[in-house]
Amino acid sequence: MLTSDPQARQAGHDGPRRPLLLLIFLFSGFAALLYQLAWQRALFTILGTDIASATIVVTAFLLGLGLGSLLGGALARLAPAAALALFAAFELALGLFGASSLPLFAWAADRFAAISYAETASFSFLAVAFPTTLMGATLPLLVAHDVPRSGNVGQSVGGLYFANTAGAALGAFAAVTIMFGTFGLSGTTHIAAALNIVLAAGAGALYWHSRGRA
C-alpha cells in the first residue's frame, strides 16, 4: 500500500542503511571501551593507583560524556542535516587523538614527574575529558540523523543506545580477555584508533549517499 506520509516514505527509503548505522555505532562503543580501559591503566602509571587517582579518572570520563551529550544535542539542533557528518568528524578526531594518546601520557609522566600532584591530576583530567566529550556527543548526533528516517523517537534512541552499549560490553570483554594480553596497551589503542577512522569513513559515506538521495 502506498503512503502519502513523507516521513514514512523516508523511513522506507533509508531502511536498508539503518543496520549499517547501528553496526557503526556498535563498533564505536567497542572502541570507546578499549580506550577507557587502556587510558585508565596508562594514567594510573602517572597518578598512582590509590582511591584519589581512580576518582579523578572516572570523574573525567563521566563529566566528559555528560558535556559531550550536551554538545551533541546543541549541534544536532543547530545543524540536523549535518548530524551524520559531524558524527564522522568526531570519530575521526577520536581516532587521531587515540593514536597519539599513549605517547602524550608518557610525555606527561616525564614532564610532571617533579611537579605537584595537583598539576599532574589537572592534566590527566583534561586529557581524558576532551576525547570523552567527543564520545558523549555521538549518540545525540546519530539520534538527530535517524529520527526523521525511522519516524519513531523511541525506536531510534533505543536501537542506537542498545547497539552502542552492546559494543561497549564486547569491548570490555575483548580488552581484558584477548587484546591487552595479545597487543598490549599500545597495540590496543592503535586498533581502537584505526577502528574510529574506519567508522568515520563509513559514516561519511552514508552522509554523502543520503545527500545524493535526499
- Residue-wise pLDDT for 138-152, tens only, equals 999 999 999 988 888
Most confident of 2-11, 45-54, 187-196: 187-196
The three cell numbers of residue 25 are 555505532
Q: Domain for residue 103, yes or no?
A: yes
pTM of the model: 0.88
pLDDT at 58: 85
Q: Domain for residue 11, yes or no?
A: no
Most confident of 101-110, 112-121, 187-196, 205-214: 187-196
CB 33 within 8 A of CB 168: yes
Distance CA 104, CA 123 (A): 11
Q: Domain for residue 3, yes or no?
A: no
Q: Domain range for residue 110?
A: 18-212
67-77 pLDDT, tens digit each: 999 999 999 99
Q: Domain for residue 8, yes or no?
A: no
Q: Domain for residue 12, yes or no?
A: no
Number of compact structural domains in the chain: 1
**Average pLDDT of span 107-133:** 82
Q: What is the CATH number of the domain that holds 97?
A: 1.20.1250.20
Q: Domain for residue 194, yes or no?
A: yes
Q: Is 3 helix (H, G, I), strand (E, B) or coil?
A: coil
H or E stretch including 184? Answer: helix 180-212
Nearest to 159 by CA among 18, 33, 65, 17: 18
Q: Domain for residue 144, yes or no?
A: yes
Q: Domain for residue 179, yes or no?
A: yes
- Mean pLDDT across the chain, nearest whole number? 87
